[in-house]
Structure 1
Amino acid sequence: MKKIAIFILSVLLLSCAVRKQVSPDIQKVSYKQLLRLNEARIARIHSLQAEAKITVDSPEFSGNFSADIYLTGGDSLLLSITGPMGLPMGKVFIAPKRFIFYNQVMNQFMTGTLKQFESLNLFQFPFHVSEIGDVFLAKDAFDILKKNDYRVQDGMYFLDATAGQWSYRIWFDPALLVIKKIEYRSGDQLLFYKTYDQFEEIDGVYFPKSINFVRPEMRQGFSLYYESVRLNRKIDRKYFDIKISDSAKQINLSVNQ
């Protein structure tokens, strides 16, 4: 019993040591270094294969579902959506210029342009179709930024910067040196913010299992929790094959353009 107690105490002490907080020091870590690390992190992610829980909340709609996610090259995305009790709801494939959506509940097969997909707002996501890949990959890429302020805030590295008409407020984790929270602004107006939590090192990349996207003014929120993540693995093309029922109603939105 005494040996067991000593073993448990050792484990607790070890876990405390692992969780030891790192104090940010702006004299040792510059904002340019943080931005370079962010750029390098983005460059290392080429594909994503994951299982996730997604929650969407707005004044018009509130719901949650499970999703299998396949993303290659940052521009081809397949979502396989499952509802309550494992009920298959649909699959959507998004390419650079077109989309395919198979609504398994309504037994409809729909194709069209990305602009048409945007107008349908099928999943009530609070961001544009062109931003889906960036959100799922926890990707925040910047043009040349002009520093307004760089300091320690709330125990993290804090950067206030602008690029043209856009401004950003960014908080970096002091230990992992990755973005934990970022606000996107136009002038003094907060457009939206994103938060990243529960980072894991996957294929040499620190990747968040928890992602939140919020538009406060419109009271719209999107939460994603990854149950499993595989980065930079070759994705079998079979996952992008969408098999539909022979009786499915086919709708080509481009025909009426």
Structure 2
Amino acid sequence: MKWIAGILTFSWMALLFSCAAPLKRSAPPVLTTQIHQWPERYQANYQQIHTFEGTARLTVESPQVNGHVNIRVIWIDPDTLFVQAEGAFGVNVGKIFIGKRRFLIYNEYDNQYIAGELTNAYIARFLNTDFSLKDLQAALLGKPLAPVSGARLVDAKRGVFALKAGSVKHRYKVDPETGLLEKWEMLRDGRVIVRMEFQRYRKQNGIYFPGLIRLTQPERQERITVFYKTLMFNRPINPARYRITIDPRARQLNL
């Protein structure tokens, strides 16, 4: 349950969080100037990513948690994500593994862990927030929570695409001059439930990727921000680098 994630949260926050630093700005690359081609070009760009590794600053803002932590991220297509949190002097204090169906959160500092199915909404949460681990995964991958396939261009001048799914509407804002996704919103009854913003794009090895991602739930006053410092794409990654070994004395919290 949410209190379990809160137990893991406290020690990490005390060890890791500190004040933010200013970011550098650079001119964005150009994915496409043909706005009507954006959905296809966007999907083709991400299909080039087979492995991904980066270092980032992860910031969490909510009524319960505020601060940031340095992390190392490893992604293996199609469904393996590893996140390692580092404290002072590069000491590893926490790890998260997200697979196709299951997850593991290991608090090395307190020697406690949570493991289970990603479909379990009670425990598959990130820290003491209402963001799911799949929400975190989307933010780290720089992708909206909803797929872009099927999105329809509704305003070519402003670069606005829309997709309807039952009572929910998805809205995508694309820069017409660069073809880069700037914002995605999920709306219900005209209210923005979730918003993602994508900025500071860079082009590396032919891949376009946002260096700054914000995931916000306005009504809950919660936000996750990811600022990538380094990025590497499509390099071989030894499985040992994203394997988590649990201390036999560690306490499992979701028994």
Shift of 1:143: 4.2
Structure 2 counterpart of 1:251:
252
Letter in 2 for 1:159: F
In structure 1, list runs of 5 or more residues that go unmatched: 1-17
Superposition TM-score, scaled by structure 2 size: 0.77
Shift of 1:161: 4.1
Q: How high is the sequence identity, in percent, across the aligned residues?
A: 22
Letter in 2 for 1:123: L
In structure 2, list runs of 5 or more residues that go unmatched: 1-25
SS in structure 1 opposite 2:96? Answer: strand
RMSD (Å) for aligned C-alpha atoms: 2.8
Shift of 1:213: 0.7
Task: Write the deviation string for residues 23-62 of structure 1: whole angstroms up to 9, x where unpaired.
Answer: x9xxx8343x111111212222222111110000011211
Shift of 1:145: 3.2
Superposition TM-score, scaled by structure 1 size: 0.77
Structure 2 counterpart of 1:106:
110
Letter in 2 for 1:114: L
Structure 2 counterpart of 1:212:
214
Residue 143 of structure 2 is aligned to residue 142 of structure 1: no
Distance of aligned partners of 1:211 and 1:118 in 2 relative to their CA distance in 1, 3 Å threshold: farther
Distance 1:60 1:235 in 2: 36
Structure 1 counterpart of 2:15:
none
Rg larger in structure:
1
**Residue 58 of structure 2, aligned match among 54, 68, 71:** 54
SS in structure 1 opposite 2:134? Answer: helix
Distance 1:59 1:20 in 2: 33
SS in structure 2 opposite 1:168? Answer: strand
Distance of aligned partners of 1:186 and 1:42 in 2 relative to their CA distance in 1, 3 Å threshold: farther
Shift of 1:116: 4.6
Distance of aligned partners of 1:115 and 1:83 in 2 relative to their CA distance in 1, 3 Å threshold: farther
Shift of 1:159: 2.8
Shift of 1:176: 2.6
Structure 1 counterpart of 2:16:
none
Matches within 5 A, 1:166-245: 166-245=168-247
Structure 2 counterpart of 1:14:
none
Distance of aligned partners of 1:221 and 1:166 in 2 relative to their CA distance in 1, 3 Å threshold: same
Q: Name which of structure 1's ranges 202-211 and 101-110 shifts more when overlaid on structure 2.
A: 101-110
- Between Structure 1 and Structure 2, how many residues are aligned? 227
Distance 1:159 1:182 in 2: 9
| 4+ residue segments displaced more than 6 Å | none
